[in-house]
Amino acid sequence: MAKIVLSNAHCKDAPGAFYNGTTEYDYSCKVNKIIKKLLEEMGHEVTIVDGGNGSATQTLKYKAKLINQINPVAAIENHLNASDNPSASYGAEVIHYQGSTKGEKLAKNLSNRFSYLPVKQKGTTGRNDLYLLKSTRCPAVITEPFFFSHQVEQKLLEFNRGVDVVGKLIAEGINSWVTMI
């Protein structure tokens, strides 16, 4: 049906946020495997790209180059948010490239799916400063369904079921968006 790229957040050498023995990179790898399986069952061609080892800049450039070579209808990178500030905002958010109509529609579709999660809904945000979003030719979004640093949201991730639910919601959101384009 459609060619889709899932990008693992961060990389092995710079794994992002950390909580209770799990890194943001670990989470992203797990959820992307779930999404890939579900999307392939729906008839889509799915590739997972990984930055491997290296600095954050090298990883981002490598992933953007791979995504552009694959030429998908969309790229989705799955993250978790975190903050050292205990009073920081928390909740589910999807980030898109500001000015990308298709990217914004994909972000809104995924954000609507996150409304099924028992977390605060932050909606969508358009940004022009994130390398992956501005360097891919296809619409690209970054999902942030949970805050690693928020006690309630941490508990949701302690059970694999939380990752399974997020994977299912993201797969459904991507599939629904693909049928609209």
Give residue-wise pLDDT tens across range 165-175: 999 999 999 99
The pair of structure tokens assigned to 66 is: 């791979």
Model confidence pLDDT, tens digit, residues 96-111 = 999 999 999 999 999 9
Amino acid of residue 156: L
Number of alpha helices (DSSP H) and beta strands (DSSP E) in the chain: 6, 8
The answer to whether residues 173 and 112 touch, using CB atoms and an 8 Å cutoff, is yes
pLDDT at 153: 65
Which residues, in sequence order, are bridge partners of residue 4?
46, 74
Under the banding of pLDDT at 50, 70 and 90, the label for residue 64 is very high
Q: How far is CA 146 from CA 7, 53, 137, 151, in A?
A: 17, 25, 27, 10
pLDDT at 158: 65
Q: Is the pLDDT of residue 86 over 80?
A: no
Model confidence pLDDT, tens digit, residues 7-19 = 999 888 888 887 7
Beta strands in 71-177 (DSSP E): 74-78, 92-97, 121-127, 140-144
| 3-class state of residue 1 by DSSP | coil
Reported CATH class of domain 3-180: alpha beta
pLDDT at 37: 98
Model confidence pLDDT, tens digit, residues 139-150 = 999 999 987 776
Q: What is the mean pLDDT of the chain?
A: 91
Alpha carbon distance 44, 87 (integer Å): 41
The answer to whether residues 139 and 181 touch, using CB atoms and an 8 Å cutoff, is no
45-59, 118-132, 144-158: which is most confident: 118-132
pLDDT at 73: 98
Amino acid of residue 157: L
